[in-house]
Amino acid sequence: MGRLKTYQREDLARRAMALFWQHGFDGTSTQMLVDDMGVNRFSLYAEFGHKKGLFEAALALYEDEVVARNLAGIEAPAAGLQAIQQLFDGFAQWAGEHNAALGCLICNTATELAAKDPSSQVVVNRYVARLSTAFAHCLQQAQADGQLQQDVDALQEGRFLATLLLGFLVQLRAQVPVLQVQASAQGVQAYLRRLTKPASAGAD
């Protein structure tokens, strides 16, 4: 007779996500996962195959829940310049909180694993593309609303903003001084002003 499952797969992935987010892939041992989840190794291996399988499930859940929540503002249909600034300002505000050193799980994965692990590289590339697309959408919306200069290349600037945000999140993980992070957010505001039409420069 097979063993009855006393857990839900998504619950295990969520608990694992918290551990990987805090300690990284290499810093999270199988024993740490077993102890935190309250399941034995047999159950863990039966459900996910191996630690890497659990990590991939945790990353997928992070994309579905955390990334979706963080990017909701810039992915909204009518999002524009204000949504971009609010995203950076929100992370700058988070910099002063006790858990800011968690950073972003996907960014952490980029620096720890992406160079040597193809599956992690796929997740990171998908995240960068998602950011670039969302930022470009905001800039295109601003152009349609007459806020942005028409010669601005929204796709190119969207990629730049994605790169900027990734560096921003790495700063959080590295626990650089809060004032440095906040200065970066203010720099985004100045950057967006340079892209706007003179008449609307102070609108957002």
Position 5 pLDDT exceeds 70? no
User: What's this model's pTM, rounded to 2 decimal places?
Assistant: 0.89
Q: Which residues contact 144 (CB under 8 A, 6 or more apart)?
A: none
Residue 7 confidence (pLDDT): 60
Do 69 and 90 form a contact (C-beta atoms < 8 A)?
Answer: no
Q: Which residues contact 46 (CB under 8 A, 6 or more apart)?
A: none
Domains 8-62 and 71-197 belong to one CATH topology? no
SS3 144: helix
Only one residue has tokens 């659990």, namely 54
For residue range 16-68, what is the model confidence (pLDDT) as tens digits? 999 999 999 999 999 999 999 888 888 888 889 999 999 999 999 999 999 99
Instruction: Measure the CA angle with vertex 163, ends 161 and 164; round to 5°.
Output: 60
Domain 8-62, CATH class in plain words: mainly alpha
pLDDT band at 204 (very low <50, low <70, confident <90, very high): very low
Q: What is the CATH number of domain 71-197?
A: 1.10.357.10
Q: What's the whole-number mean pLDDT along residues 71-94?
A: 95
Sketch the domain layout of the chain as residue ranges. 8-62, 71-197
